[in-house]
Structure 1
Amino acid sequence: MIWFLRRCVLAPAVVVLTVLLWVTFPLWLIAAAALSPLLPGRWRALRLLWLLILYLSCEALMLMVLLGLWLASGFGRRIRTPYFEGIHYDLVQGLMWVFFREARRVLRLRIETDGLAPDAHPGVPILVACRHAGPGDSFTLIHALMHWYSREPRVVLKDTLGWDPMIDVVLHRIPARFITPNPGQGEDLESQIAELASGLDENDAFVIFPEGGNFTPHRRERAIERLNQLGMHRMARRAEAMTNVLAPRPGGFIAALDAAPDADVVLVAHTGLDHLLTVADVWRELPMDKVIVMRWWQVPRAEIPEGREARIEWLFGWWERIDAWVEQNRPEDLSPGRR
């Protein structure tokens, strides 16, 4: 029933809504222009209107192309072959390039990278563990991996994102996994992650967010409480000392390490938009006029310890390092020279 609702109701609705928006675009443009002087910020309503129309247009066009590929693949019989998988990766890369180019221009954003890039060791698969905070950080990370470093990401993401029709269709055709943070019955979370991380080749990047959710102060407190409930009081004290990140949940990350024994690990921190925790925060900051800094560390496989307990200690140690980097590189602390 859910599959039918997503594919046969939501997807056509997006296409129809996009057509209606373009037909009535002059009216929306006049309304947004009239509202803009009444709202704080520079032409806030016009900027948001353009991004909304751009996103829906990209989504509707992509859905039509995906339908054509499904027909061309023999009504889906060959849709998971390497040939069609490559086409889908190219489509996603092109789509994200268009949207990010406009988002950076309209919202006045700049993205800078620092540290060792994940193309430093070409020909080696990588496991990417990223801090999760701020709006759109997962899309920014995927865009960076595909556009700047020519990697084909395999993504672990929450099943709620499957309600976006385009994301739902695309990520059921390329290697990805929709998961629930606390799965009930059926295949357990770690085995799903291990299956997705198996068979990585030299241009693959397995992407996981070990914190399990976007950073908020409430989630940080819950993570600390969870560690105490599990009797992991020493880890809880270490989590209390980290003020910018959530305590990592190591199970999925360790399962990926075991399933990809030849992969290096890339750890990613970022700052710039992580202080935007609510929709009200995002609205207040528009247009953002911000610099997003992404810091990359690549750890060769030989430097990663063996054994579950040693790997948990290693991951917590890196998360403490990421927490310290975020504290030292907050946007308000970046001097003009550093930017």
Structure 2
Amino acid sequence: MLPPRIVRRIILAPLVIVVTVLVLVTLPLWLLVTFGASLRLPPPQRRGLRFVWFGAAWLTLESAVLIACLGLWLSGAFGRARRQERHYALIRWFLSKVYAVAVRIFRLTLVVEEPPPTPQERAARLSRPVVVLSRHAGPGDSFLLIYLLLSRYERRPRIVMKAALQYDPSLDVVVNRLPNAFVPRRSGRERVVAEIRRLATTMDDHDALVIFPEGGNFTPRRRRLAIRRLEEKGLAEEAERARGMDHLLPPRPNGAIAAITACPEADVIFVAHTGLDDLVTIGDVWRRLPYAARITAKWWRVPAAEVPRDRESQVRWLYSHWEEIDAWITAQRSTRDGETPPDRGTARDQEAPPDQEVVPDQGEGAPGGR
């Protein structure tokens, strides 16, 4: 069970700072031990030094955020809007530093394919809120997405997260001071959808509500179970379309539909990415992290006027875009492996839903099941 907030503030937060000081003081010893241990491993597995450096950098940045949050709390004589602006700036600073460290230590390369910068696209980036629907894969996808929204696109992200993430003190403090939501693991889908609806209702032109419709990372077992659940619910069409997707779990529509309904003026952004998809657990990262990490992402916008408003059309539309993401991932992996991607076309080429149907869903542990 998650400790009460007061316990987390007076125990967990100071503990992070204490651990950081101890790690920094003993860092030469950690590096020496890790280097000696790595000599017994084959070269591809000599990742210990990189992980020690990254861990020390992460702890240092976490402690800096906690100290800054304490300073903002003590000087809290400013309005709510100004207070939120400073906390968003703090998150932007933290994620930009983490990204810079990852680039330096793990040789991370991030390539993003964007829509052409037409006058309409440039205007849309500044004139209305957005609902962001992203695939869920790998441990760092959420951080990278939030980093891009804050730093490159100057958006204020909102997200529904698992309550257990509040064990991370800096995340606990900062996120709880901004329009976000933590939900207990056993709270049920209705609670998650209600929180999404609440966050979407109050968005303005600078906000972005982030949802991961799959509800978790892809694994073959989860894919089989998700298809079976669709079949048991009598959703034969959705089950058949899910079987045609090789890299994604079928999207859960309730959260996305709730967001679109609560904020009908919002555009919908779809985000596809690939590169470190197979690195799901800590063990995967330790064993298989490449010497030079590369992530490729692509996003496209669906204007609010083109988003369908009846549920059945929305569900079909969401599956169409999810099929497009799956086809894009297949093409990216084929190109990376030196193969010619199959000429399957995009989901829009294969199926043109009537009345330009559109739909999204939900995030990490925030399902939107049907």
**Match for residue 161 of structure 1 among 162, 165, 168:** 165
Q: Secondary structure at the match of 1:155?
A: strand
1:67 — aligned with what?
70
Residue identity matched to 1:50: W
How far apart are 1:184 and its partner, in Å?
Answer: 4.0
CA contact (8 A) 2:183 2:191 kept: no
With over 3 angstroms needed to count, the CA separation of the structure-2 counterparts of 1:181 and 1:298, relative to structure 1, is farther
How far apart are 1:182 and its partner, in Å?
Answer: 5.4
1:321 — aligned with what?
324
**Match for residue 177 of structure 1 among 175, 181, 197:** 181
How far apart are 1:287 and its partner, in Å?
Answer: 4.5
Segments of structure 1 that go 5 or more residues without pairing to the other structure are none
1:29 — aligned with what?
31
Alignment of structure 1 residues 137-156 onto 2, 5 Å: 137-156=141-160
With over 3 angstroms needed to count, the CA separation of the structure-2 counterparts of 1:101 and 1:25, relative to structure 1, is same
User: How far, CA to CA, are the matches of 2:318 and 2:203 in structure 1?
Assistant: 21
Structure 1 segments, 4+ long, off by >6 Å, are: none
1:52 — aligned with what?
55
Alignment of structure 1 residues 205-284 onto 2, 5 Å: 205-284=208-287
Q: TM-score, with normalisation over the residues of structure 2?
A: 0.84
With over 3 angstroms needed to count, the CA separation of the structure-2 counterparts of 1:270 and 1:181, relative to structure 1, is farther
Is 1:10 matched with 2:12? yes
Residue identity matched to 2:110: I
Q: Secondary structure at the match of 1:142?
A: helix
Moved more, 5-14 or 44-53: 5-14
CA contact (8 A) 2:160 2:183 kept: yes
Is 1:107 matched with 2:112? no
User: Considering only aligned residues, what root-mean-square deviation do their CA atoms show, in Å?
Assistant: 2.1
CA contact (8 A) 2:160 2:192 kept: no
How far apart are 1:106 and its partner, in Å?
Answer: 0.6
CA contact (8 A) 1:108 1:287 kept: no
User: How far, CA to CA, are the matches of 1:292 and 1:155 in structure 2?
Assistant: 22
With over 3 angstroms needed to count, the CA separation of the structure-2 counterparts of 1:125 and 1:334, relative to structure 1, is farther
1:291 — aligned with what?
294
Deviations 1:12-39 (A, max 9, x none): 1111101111121221122122223223
Deviations 1:251-285 (A, max 9, x none): 01000001111110000000100122332221122
Moved more, 114-123 or 190-199: 114-123
User: How far, CA to CA, are the matches of 1:134 and 1:332 in structure 2?
Assistant: 20
User: How far, CA to CA, are the matches of 2:62 and 2:160 in structure 1?
Assistant: 21
Moved more, 281-290 or 166-175: 281-290
With over 3 angstroms needed to count, the CA separation of the structure-2 counterparts of 1:176 and 1:57, relative to structure 1, is same
Residue identity matched to 1:46: L
With over 3 angstroms needed to count, the CA separation of the structure-2 counterparts of 1:257 and 1:309, relative to structure 1, is same
How far apart are 1:42 and its partner, in Å?
Answer: 7.3
Q: TM-score, with normalisation over the residues of structure 1?
A: 0.91
Q: Secondary structure at the match of 2:247?
A: coil
User: How far, CA to CA, are the matches of 2:29 and 2:335 in structure 1?
Assistant: 39
How far apart are 1:158 and its partner, in Å?
Answer: 2.1
Residue identity matched to 2:71: G
Say how many residue pairs are matched.
331
User: How far, CA to CA, are the matches of 1:72 and 1:327 in structure 2?
Assistant: 51
With over 3 angstroms needed to count, the CA separation of the structure-2 counterparts of 1:210 and 1:188, relative to structure 1, is same
User: How far, CA to CA, are the matches of 2:55 and 2:260 in structure 1?
Assistant: 39
